[in-house]
Amino acid sequence: MSVQSKGMPASEGWTAGRRLRAFYTLTKPRVNTLIVFCAVIGMFLAVPGGFPEPWIVIAATIGIAFVAGAAAAMNCLIEARIDAHMARTRARPLPSGEVAGAETLIFAGLLGGAGLLILYLWVNPLTMWLTLATFVGYAIIYTVFLKPRTSQNIVIGGASGAMPPVLGWAAATGEVSSDALLLFLIIFVWTPPHFWALALYRSEDYARAGLPMLPVTHGSEHTRLSILLYTCLLIGVTLLPFASRMSGWIYLVAAIVLGAGFLRHAWMLYRCYSDAQARRTFRYSIAYLFALFAALLVDHYAAY
């Protein structure tokens, strides 16, 4: 049955659909997917030799996704003027005028509030409070205070982005263990080389927007060296789950192979820069984190 046959003009149906997509875009779904994936892995890794309760997984996944989406929407709202000056972001719903600031604020409040309520009622209060702290860390501390003021914004602000597996762990167990903090550390160290690869080929955008990203304040060569050094540190950090007996040989082999691939990209980026290589490094860093956490999960269940 067509939209028109229900009494709604086709143009109005198209407009409504476009606005729904605009609100969905505010939640940064691609970033949110990685956040939720790491949180879910944390839930499963937290339960030795078994599986977390299905309703906990469902409720925690929805709650964390809602709050992460709300944080992304707040980020878009706060940075709307900055986004309007950047080629990568000027088509986002706020700079393009598809949604208004007040609408975004209400949307973020409702979405985040619903997510926190779900976590409190159907998961546990610890997960709710940790998720709220993550929201504040990203939407307020990083976006408002760190990003426009220091070139180390992504290093310090990366703490909020590294929280998803800790949230998942807390959801499944009601506590935060040393193993959960190892997962946090992996993402924390992964974040700078991941983001700086993007910042390299978008440095003109950041300069035009007046943001002190590392390539803008310290130049390309310094940033490429930083990526290389952080990648070396990351490889060392990813060996800690094996050293602490959190994981076994399957994960160790995967970590070494994936780390070698990341190091190769970082070395090529350092030795001979091109925007294309920076893009390849950025894309590999995303696939790297997905694969690394997937290897942790496979190893976890292969041991039982």
Task: Please say whether the beta carbons of 165 and 182 come within 8 A.
Answer: no
Of 82-86, 183-187, 277-281, least confident by mean pLDDT is: 82-86
Distance of CA 233 to the CA centre of its chain: 20
For 8, the token pair is: 């709604």
% of the chain at pLDDT higher than 70: 95
**Domains assigned to the chain:** 11-176 (1.10.357.140), 178-304 (1.20.120)
Residue with tokens 């790297």: 288
Q: What is the pLDDT of residues 284-296, one digit of tens each?
A: 999 999 999 999 9
For 62, the token pair is: 């929805």
CA angle 69, 90, 217 (to 5 degrees): 90
Residue with tokens 């998803």: 164
Q: Please give the model's pTM, rounded to 2 decimal places.
A: 0.93
Mean pLDDT of 47-62: 95
Q: What is the pLDDT of residues 233-276, one digit of tens each?
A: 999 999 999 999 999 999 999 999 999 999 999 999 999 999 99
Q: Could you tell me which residue, 209 or 279, shows the higher pLDDT?
A: 279
For 191, the token pair is: 């974040």
C-alpha 93/C-alpha 80 separation (Å) is 9
Task: Please say whether the beta carbons of 35 and 48 come within 8 A.
Answer: no
pLDDT for the residue 257: 98
pLDDT tops 50 at residue 1: no
If you ran DSSP here, which 8-state letter would residue 212 be given?
-
Which alpha helices (H) appear in the chain, and where do they start and end?
A: 10-26, 29-45, 54-78, 80-83, 101-122, 125-135, 153-161, 164-173, 178-201, 203-209, 214-238, 240-243, 249-271, 275-302
For 20, the token pair is: 């729904």
Q: What is the pLDDT of residues 19-41, one digit of tens each?
A: 899 999 999 999 999 999 999 99
Cβ burial, residue 20 (10 Å; 0-12/13-18/19+) = exposed
C-alpha 120/C-alpha 180 separation (Å) is 20
Task: Please say whether the beta carbons of 74 and 108 come within 8 A.
Answer: yes
Is residue 141 classed as helix, strand or coil in its secondary structure? helix
